[in-house]
Amino acid sequence: MTPTVCIVGAGSSGVTTAKALLERGVSFDCFELGSAIGGMWRYENDNGLSSAYRSLHIDSSRRNLGYSDFPIPEHLPDYLSHGQVLEYLEAYAGQFGVLRHVTFRTGVTRLAPSAAGGWNVTLTTGETREYRNVVVANGHLWDPRMPDFPGRFDGVQMHAHHYRRPEPFEGKDVLVVGIGNSAVDIAVDLCRSARSVALSTRRGAWIVPKYIMGIPTDRWSAFLGRKLRLPTVVTRTIISRLMRLTVGNQERFGVPRPAHPIWREHATVSQDLLPYLGHGWIRMKRNVSALDGDRVRFEDGSVEPFDAIVYATGYRTTFPFIDRSIFEVRDGEASLYRRMLPPDRPGLYFAGLVQPIGPTIPLVEIQGRWIAGAIAGTMALPGRETMQREIVRNREALARRYLDSPRYTLEVDFRDYARQLRGDMERGRAAA
Ligand SMILES: Cc1cc2nc3c(=O)[nH]c(=O)nc-3n(C[C@H](O)[C@H](O)[C@H](O)COP(=O)(O)OP(=O)(O)OC[C@H]3O[C@@H](n4cnc5c(N)ncnc54)[C@H](O)[C@@H]3O)c2cc1C
Ligand SMILES: NC(=O)c1ccc[n+]([C@@H]2O[C@H](COP(=O)([O-])OP(=O)(O)OC[C@H]3O[C@@H](n4cnc5c(N)ncnc54)[C@H](OP(=O)(O)O)[C@@H]3O)[C@@H](O)[C@H]2O)c1
């Protein structure tokens, strides 16, 4: 049978979508730029796109990270290393027979609508194939978003995407910009061998410890919400109180207090940041106002010399193989029904284009099943107008709930979104 579906990318999102299609008996081709599966979890991936650094460990704990029907083995630690996540993904792909459907070292260079109403997919081999449906799962955390601070810096500058290990920074004065998970992980990684490490941020972030009373922090939410079935608002209040007891007042350490409650912002997960600030191994700085040769000016008027700057300023969501007139994600605007379908482009789906508060991998597993249901015809899709209305409603809800920052363009609340997708599948009809 000639496959009617093409999947672009064999990271955790492409692989779980492939598995869902296999389970529905839908044939597909999956093209992967690199020579193996795993995407960003493959450290130094030969696709050249992985943002993993040597010290990377997950920020969602083991029991919450895995796919629903393939638990992460209990003997693995609470917070897996990137290598352990990769082994898990390889085992999953092997178990469900995905690997033999992936063509490795073959990138998609162009995706364009075909005359017959499908999609022409051009490959790095030069060949173009036509499919009725394409699932784009190329990852959205690889294209560095760089700030444009005025002035010029003469030292080493790099984006977190290119950061691997602390050794090149030994004995140096390093500035890390941002307060997301990358910035804090990298500052923590650097601070024992660099001469000094400063962390500069333009706003506060809730610093969430990996453990509360010896239990992984996200297990508390699961216990209170799913096991005890407490309403979300009660769960959140209890977690906030527990965190307050564990962390105390983060402003004491110089980390600005965020403007919103914890569930309206991306928390930064770190067991180490606050104690390391307490040791003086990391210092907090305000936002950069200008670069000036070997020195950096900050918004509080202070000026300090640095040897290197690591910009942990997040990623742009881009699709080098799709013309922007066909589809693009702009800051604050991803026009996707259910965060997966551009209404004007039938047959085009995006998997993994979400930024959940909570783990990504099991959420994209649900997306994969949803996409497979839509393609196999077991779940009906609404018309274009309904899709447009849902997109507008979602955009308004995002604007009300989260900060006005590009970081929140793909934001979803894990529980609400998962419930919505499961509801669609159970009804056999995706709703408004
Ligand atoms: C540093 C870091 C830490 C993270 N930690 C966590 C965590 O603890 N918990 C969590 O849930 N999430 C975490 N994430 C989010 C993580 O990105 C997701 O969990 C998820 O693994 C992303 O999978 P993906 O398949 O969507 O993308 P990727 O893993 O990026 O895979 C995309 C794949 O598509 C391929 N590809 C790209 N372009 C093409 C093309 N043109 N043709 C063919 N193939 C192509 C790539 O080679 C790659 O294999 C982290 C992200 C980063 C950057
Ligand atoms: N251990 C882990 O599991 C781990 C490690 C790393 C990353 N990740 C995940 O990977 C994803 C990306 O994380 P990330 O930390 O790389 O990016 P991110 O979450 O997008 O954070 C980017 C940071 O840079 C700041 N920033 C952006 N542009 C700026 C500018 N022009 N000037 C000053 N500051 C600017 C942002 O501030 P604003 O909020 O003000 O925009 C934010 O603090 C997230 O999902 C994260 O959870 C996980």
Ligand 2 pocket test: pick from 407, 412, 414 the residue with the most ligand atoms within 8 Å of its Cβ.
407
pLDDT above 90 covers a percentage of the chain that reads 84
Residue bearing the CA closest to ligand 2, atom 9: 181
Residue bearing the CA closest to ligand 1, atom 47: 33
Residue 385 has pLDDT above 90, yes or no: yes
Q: What does the DSSP 8-state code read for residue 429? A: B
What DSSP element (H or E) covers 391? helix 384-401
Tens-place pLDDT, residues 223-239: 888 788 888 788 888 98
CA–centroid distance, 265 to ligand 2, in Å, is 12
Mean pLDDT of 118-132: 97
Torsion sign (Cα): 389, 391, 397, 399? negative
- pTM, two decimals, is 0.96
Confidence of residue 176 (pLDDT cuts 50, 70, 90): very high
Ligand 1 pocket test: pick from 13, 16, 40 the residue with the most ligand atoms within 8 Å of its Cβ.
40
Mean pLDDT of 50-57: 98
Contacts 24+ apart (CB under 8 A), 222-226: 222/63, 222/64, 225/415
pLDDT of residue 256: 94
pLDDT of residue 130: 97
Confidence of residue 1 (pLDDT cuts 50, 70, 90): low
pLDDT of residue 353: 97
Q: Do 14 and 365 form a contact (C-beta atoms < 8 A)?
A: no
Distance CA 336, CA 327 (A): 10
pLDDT of residue 239: 87
Return the minimum-mean-pLDDT range out of 123-137, 340-354, 366-380, 391-405. 391-405
CA–centroid distance, 424 to ligand 2, in Å, is 32
Q: Which of 79-88, 211-220, 414-423 has the highest mean pLDDT?
A: 79-88
pLDDT of residue 70: 97
pLDDT above 70 covers a percentage of the chain that reads 100
Distance CA 1, CA 282 (A): 59
Mean pLDDT of 17-24: 98
What DSSP element (H or E) covers 11? none
Residue 354 has pLDDT above 60, yes or no: yes
CA–centroid distance, 215 to ligand 1, in Å, is 27
Residue 180 has pLDDT above 80, yes or no: yes
Ramachandran angles phi, psi of 222, nearest 5°: -60, -40
Residue 403 has pLDDT above 80, yes or no: no
pLDDT of residue 2: 67
What's the whole-number average pLDDT of the chain? 95
pLDDT of residue 170: 98
Confidence of residue 335 (pLDDT cuts 50, 70, 90): very high
